[in-house]
Amino acid sequence: MKNEKINEAYNSYVEARIPKTKAWPSLFNSFWVGGLICLIGQGINDLIIYIFPSMSQQSAWAWTLIILIFLASLLTGLGVYDKIGKFAGGGSIVPITGFSNSIASPAIEYKHEGIIYGTCVKMFSIAGPVIVTGIVASIVVGIIYFIIGLF
């Protein structure tokens, strides 16, 4: 039998005792690592334009993303990205490199369950919700855009 009152009292007691994450140091580390990743991205973009002056900005952006995604996957495989993530938290999760890490890490983790049931099935187990949210949001925005266009 669950006793709602005891549970409520216990939960609020526990809540009061929980050690809190130190917000400012975590935010600081998130901020500068996240900023550094963006700076590296901008640097790659500028370098591409410098080496290939005839390339369109659109293509340069695409190449920048590809390079960032590759680098993050490589660092994941080398066992470095999880250490960056432990230090920087959101700073290394939010940029596209974090997305790359969230796909590469289950791909590595589940390779022993086979290519289909392991790698392929589990690959999107963490990034999946992000992709679904993105697609659903774009559908909603598309419908709104369509309705506005009618008037």
Partner 1 sequence: MQTIEFKSKPKIIGSYSIVGPKEGKGPFGSFFDYVMKSDGFGEKTYEMAERKMFEQAVTGAIQNAGLHSGDIDLLLAGDLLNQIISSSFTARAYEFPYLGVFSACSTMAESLATGAILINAGHFHNVACATGSHFSTAERQFRFPLELGNQRVPTSQWTATAAGACVLSLEGEGPVVSMATFGKVIDYGITDVNNMGAAMAPSAADTIYTHLNETGRKPSDYDLILTGDLGKLGAEILIDLLEGRGVKLGPNYSDCGHCYYSRKQDTMCGASGCGVSASVLNSYIIKKLKAKKFKRILFVPTGALMSTTATQQGESIPGISHAIVLEAGGD
Binding site for partner 1 (CB under 8 A): 2, 6-8, 10-11, 13-14, 17-21, 26, 76-77, 79, 81-86, 88-89, 92-93, 98, 101-102, 104-106, 108-110, 112, 126
Closer of 47 and 69 to partner 1 (Cβ): 69
> What does the DSSP assignment read for 14-52?
HHHHSPPP-HHHHHHHHHHHHHHHHHHHHHHHHHHHHH-
Cβ closest to partner 1, residue 44 vs residue 75: 75
Shortest Cβ 85–partner 1 spacing (Å): 2
Q: Which residue has the tokens 């999946």?
A: 128
Instruction: Give the burial class of 104: count Cβ atoms within 10 A of its Cβ; 0-12 exposed, 13-18 middle, 19 or more buried.
Output: buried
| Of residues 55 and 74, the one with the C-beta less far from partner 1 | 74
Give me Rg for the CA atoms of the chain. 21
The nearest distance, CB 98 to partner 1, in angstroms, is 7
Please say which residue, 20 or 51, places its beta carbon nearer to partner 1: 20
Q: What is the dihedral of CA 79, 101, 127, 67, to 10 degrees?
A: -150
- Kindly state the smallest distance separating residue 115's Cβ from partner 1, in Å: 15
